[in-house]
Every structure is written in C-alpha cells, then in structure tokens.
Amino acid sequence: MKYICILLFLIFGCSTKKSSQYLEVYYLGPNISTPMSYPCGMIADYALKDDLNYKKIDDEINFKKINTLCNRYEKVEDTTGIDARIKVIIHNEGKVDTLCLGEYFNTYKNGVKVKDDKEMLDLIKKLIDYENTIPSFIRKHPERYGIKK
C-alpha cells in the first residue's frame, strides 16, 4: 500500500508543473467611444471593470512569438499620449513586461513609447478575437438583445 501511495504521488504530484510563461490580456472591445483617453494604468482588472475583457494565453507557440516580437521594439522620441485599449502583461519566468496598445496605433512597452508593430497588434487582436468581442452593455443584459444567458 505504501508503494502505491508513493507511485500515485510521483505520477500526479510531479505532473502539475505550472508554466511561468504566459500572457494576461486586458482589453476594451473594438469601436467603443469613451469620454476620455485612457492611460495604460486604467486598463486593469480594477479600473473599468464592467467594460473590460480578460484573456490568459499560455500556449508556448504564441507566447514565444509575442515575446520575440516584443524584444524587437525600438524606442521613439514621440511624446504623444496613448488611448490604451489593450494591455498585455508578459510573464516570463519571473520577469514581467507590460505592453499597452491603442486600438490601431500607439504602443508603449514598460511605460516607454516604442515604434508601432502592426504584426504584433494584429497577432494580439487575433489571439483575443478582438473584432468579435461582445460589448459590455450586451453582456450585462443579453436578454434585451435576444441572447440567452
């Protein structure tokens, strides 16, 4: 019996390794009009909570692709602000990077303005199915729009 317990522990206890490489994406849906431009800090789970969407991405292929693209960013001397719509938190084995993206342009990496990368923006939008995001007013009252809960 003792050997069976040890065997079960080895099988199930060791196979639950958690990945320390994943992405957290917070985003407002497409084409949402807002009364002001949102800085990156506003796009988080505690601010705009009713209008915010969240997706965790932990598959290795997409993580590596985004991490590679993220490392290509070049700083720019432009000082224009951002109307942040998408915030990506990149967790990479203890190191954390933050990307903030506008809906179509303007990108910040760790608070520094960087050159926009359409490939990165398009990939992130594809991974979160951005264009098909259900607006918050429909999520709050789906029955009003003929959607069953």
Asked if 95 and 104 count as a contact pair (C-beta separation under 8 A), the reply is no
Quick one: pLDDT band at residue 9, thresholds 50, 70, 90? very low
The three-state secondary structure class of 23 is strand
Quick one: pLDDT band at residue 10, thresholds 50, 70, 90? very low
Quick check: 12 pLDDT over 90? no
How confident is the model at residue 146, as a pLDDT?
A: 82
pLDDT tens track for 74-121: 999 987 888 899 999 999 998 999 999 999 999 999 999 999 999 999
How confident is the model at residue 47, as a pLDDT?
A: 61
- Region of 31 please: left (phi>0), alpha (psi -120 to 50) or beta: left
Asked if 82 and 108 count as a contact pair (C-beta separation under 8 A), the reply is yes
Quick check: 1 pLDDT over 60? no
pTM higher than 0.85, yes or no? no
Number of residues written out for the chain: 149
Quick one: pLDDT band at residue 61, thresholds 50, 70, 90? very high
Helix axes 118-127, 60-71, angle to 10 degrees: 160
Asked if 102 and 12 count as a contact pair (C-beta separation under 8 A), the reply is no
